[in-house]
Amino acid sequence: MAAILDQLHTDALDALARASDAAALEAWRIEFLGSKGRLKAAMGAIKDVPPADKPAFGAKLNTIAKAVEDAFTTRKASLGSAAAAPAGPTVDVTEPGLIETRELGRAHIITRVRDELVDVFARMGFSVAEGPELEDDAHNFVKLNIPPGHPAREPIDNFYIDDPAKVPAPRMLRSQTSTVQVRVMEAAVAAGQGTLQTPIKIISPGRVYRPDTVDATHSFMFHQIEGLCIDRHVSMADLKGTLLHFARAYFGPEAEIRLRPTFFPFTEPSAELDLKIRLRPDQPVRWMELGGCGIVHPNVLRASGIDPDTWTGYAFGFGIERLAMGKYAIPDIRMLYANDLRFLRQL
Ligand code: DAH
């Protein structure tokens, strides 16, 4: 009879070693320790043991029962902790990151204003044209009806690359984006094999350079946006309507414009464009000078090969800094180029 107990002991330990998960362990528990299990059965068998052997059998059964139960407890603990351990690396997704804020970059205020202006004019049917910043005086002056000897051509007022006294077509940093008018007209005439075939309607934003002494309103480099529209029967009324529409699209429906007669060599008649805007609700409306405009001078059309009897046009040019400073109440142009983040972040 004692051999049965030894067999039970070995069977129990072998099976326990093979039970490798919670389900197998439970099945093992039911087989050996359950109320109808093998240990219970062995206890029931005690009645068949001869009386003389009963004490020894009982003692051995107790020892084995204890050993098997202890083995189960140990096995369960080790399997249990293995099951509780997570499979992969642990990541607490709720924990705040080390970098809690990320600085986002963005375009400079002048770039943004330029893009806004391009958007407004694009919606009015203008396309964008570009021209070189390193120009020659033919495009900067001659073809814009600014003749030799004109005060605007003084070497002291321009960044010449070549000496204008020695070189026939001296190169220079352009002093105005009006140069792009000439380039666009020349290209259109060349595309039409010597005559203009189709209307022109462009804007051209870009950098210009003048050796001005830097102060709150002047800089040696700034930005202009030029406009040119050439078609049949273009009049001052078209110009004024376009500028008013622009002003209201950009500054809001309250904006008003005013054209004051003035003189530019490349337009006739010419006007100074003022804009009436309210910068902030708590401020009075005021007039702000924006730039120049007018009807393209016949000499300018002719210089690029366009027949002024067939075509007429208007042109305009504004300072982008002045516009941005007006719109965002920036008191000093130098703030735009000081790269002070405390300033730039406010815009
Ligand atoms: N180019 C002029 C300047 O820099 C601005 C200007 C005036 C542009 C009249 C124009 C215009 O196109 O028609 O001061």
CB 229 within 8 A of CB 314: yes
Q: What pLDDT score was predicted for residue 231?
A: 98
pLDDT at 86: 58
Domain segments of the chain: what residues? Answer: 2-79, 109-344
pLDDT of residue 162: 97
* Residue 320 Cβ < 6 Å to ligand 1: no
Q: If you take atom 4 of ligand 1, which residue's CA is the nearest one?
A: 176
Decide: 137 in ligand 1 pocket, CB within 6 A. Answer: no
Cβ 206 under 6 angstroms from ligand 1: no
**Using alpha carbons only, how large is the chain's radius of gyration in Å?**
46
144 CA to middle of ligand 1, Å?
10
Which pLDDT score is estimated for 49? 85
- Provide the pLDDT for residue 125: 97
Residues 38, 204: Cα–Cα separation, whole Å = 97
CA nearest neighbour of 239 among 198, 265, 271, 206? 271
Does 182 sit in the ligand 1 pocket, CB within 6 Å? no
Residues of the chain with pLDDT under 70: 1, 81-87, 100, 279
- Residue 209 backbone dihedrals phi, psi, to 5 degrees: -135, 130
Contacts of 171 (CB under 8 A, 6+ apart): 134, 135, 136, 137, 160, 161, 162
Asked if residue 228 lies in contact with residue 220, where contact means CB atoms within 8 angstroms, the answer is no
CATH match for 109-344 among 3.40.50.300, 3.30.930.10, 3.30.360.10, 3.10.20.30: 3.30.930.10
Q: What atom of ligand 1 comes closest to residue 294's alpha carbon?
A: 13
130 CB-side CA count, 13 A: 5
Count the helices and strands in the chain (H runs, E runs). Answer: 11, 9
> Which of 140, 174, 176, 323 to probe ligand 1 with, by most ligand atoms within 8 A of CB?
176
pLDDT at 211: 97
Q: What pLDDT, on the 0 to 100 scale, is given for residue 83?
A: 53
- Measured from the Cα of 266, ligand 1's closest atom is 13
What is the predicted pLDDT for the residue at 195? Answer: 97
pLDDT score at 82: 57
Main-chain phi, psi angles of 16, to 5 degrees: -65, -40
Tell me the residue ranges of DSSP E strands in the chain.
127-128, 134-136, 171-173, 200-209, 221-231, 256-264, 267-277, 286-296, 312-319
Any ligand 1 atom below 6 A from CB of 179? no
Distance CA 332, CA 216 (A): 4
